[in-house]
Amino acid sequence: MAPRPARPARTVRTAALAALLLAASTACGGQDGTPTAEVAGQNPARDRIGTLSLHTAQGPRACTASVVQSPRHNLLVTAAHCVQSRRIGLLDGLVFTPGYRNGSTPYGTWPVQSVTVDPHWASDDDPEYDVAFVTVGTVDGRQIEDTVGGNPIATGEGFGLSVSVTGYPNESDEPITCSVRTRSQSATQERFDCGGYTDGTSGSPWVTEKGTVVGVIGGYQEGGETPSTSYSVTFDQRVTDLYRKATT
């Protein structure tokens, strides 16, 4: 089992969330030869990705999440530590704002209704199960997937995949993105190297060239202790089972 970090690296999860978000983030520079994420240009596919924040779109940020395909068209995927932990329980009052940019909320703000995490995470914050599926309510009578679309979840794809990772650092009002190749961290965890993924980017989806989601920033070290290396639980039978639980 991977060791847990001494402090959360990519999300802020205490009662003093608003105050902590004002603190300086880790520097964004990567190691020599490591690429650095760029501001993400506007793209309809990226509008499925958005911020998780408290109460309003402009409220304190927690993480990043994205819309995935589901039978009820109301499902997001993110990291489990973004929404629940053994230390503080469920983080109440979260809302999802897809396509957020510079204060703009082009598709509205969607209230989080339910959270599904694996029992291993719920009981022990086990980093091998740091994935969550989240349902959101309707806005103007519409489901989120019908509004912005959704990406399919893919499992059992292995390592060495070309992915695009888009997320929202807490210190920025625009998302960042990086095109990278996944690598094995262990038999059940994977990684990519690209600078700029600071607090707030936990939960950012790893999207393949086929448009499938094969990871989210989380897992080992709750996503990474430096902004230049990020991790994810390998999407395998664990995620298949969790998705089935969230959609039945």
Q: What's the rounded mean pLDDT across residues 10-17?
A: 44
Bridge partners, 136 (sequence order): 112
Percent of the chain with pLDDT over 90: 83
The answer to whether residues 218 and 79 touch, using CB atoms and an 8 Å cutoff, is yes
Among 83, 13, 29, CA closest to 52: 83
Alpha-carbon span 152 to 110, nearest angstrom: 20
Find the helix or strand (DSSP H, E) in which 18 lies: helix 17-20
Q: Report the chain's terminal Cα–Cα distance, integer Å.
A: 29
**Averaged confidence pLDDT in the chain:** 89
Rounded alpha-carbon distances, angstroms, from residue 66 to 7, 77, 123, 145, 148: 25, 6, 25, 10, 10
Q: What's the rounded mean pLDDT across residues 82-108?
A: 94
Q: What's the rounded mean pLDDT across residues 145-152?
A: 98
Please report, to the nearest 10 degrees, the dihedral formed by the alpha carbons of residues 129, 177, 67, 161 taken in order: -60
Q: What's the rounded mean pLDDT across residues 73-91?
A: 95
pLDDT of residue 116: 98
pLDDT of residue 11: 55
Asked whether residue 78 carries a pLDDT value surpassing 90, the answer given is: yes
Q: Could you confirm whether domain 32-246 is CATH 2.40.10.10?
A: yes
State the number of CA atoms in the 13 A half-sphere of 87 facing the CB: 11
pLDDT grade for 10, boundaries at 50, 70 and 90: low
pLDDT of residue 41: 83
- Ordered by start, the domain boundaries in the chain are 32-246
pLDDT tens, residue by residue, 17-74: 433 333 323 223 344 578 999 999 888 889 999 999 999 999 999 999 999 999 999 9
Asked whether residue 171 carries a pLDDT value surpassing 50, the answer given is: yes
pLDDT grade for 150, boundaries at 50, 70 and 90: very high
Buried b (16+ CB within 10 A) or exposed e, 208-219: beeebbbbbbbb
pLDDT tens, residue by residue, 186-242: 999 999 999 999 999 999 999 999 999 999 999 999 999 999 999 999 999 999 999
What the block records as the tokens of 104 is 């703009």
Q: Is 203 left (phi over 0), alpha (psi -120 to 50) or beta?
A: left
pLDDT of residue 60: 95
Among 110, 105, 160, 99, CA closest to 139: 110
Listed range (3-7, 72-76, 105-109) with the worst mean pLDDT? 3-7
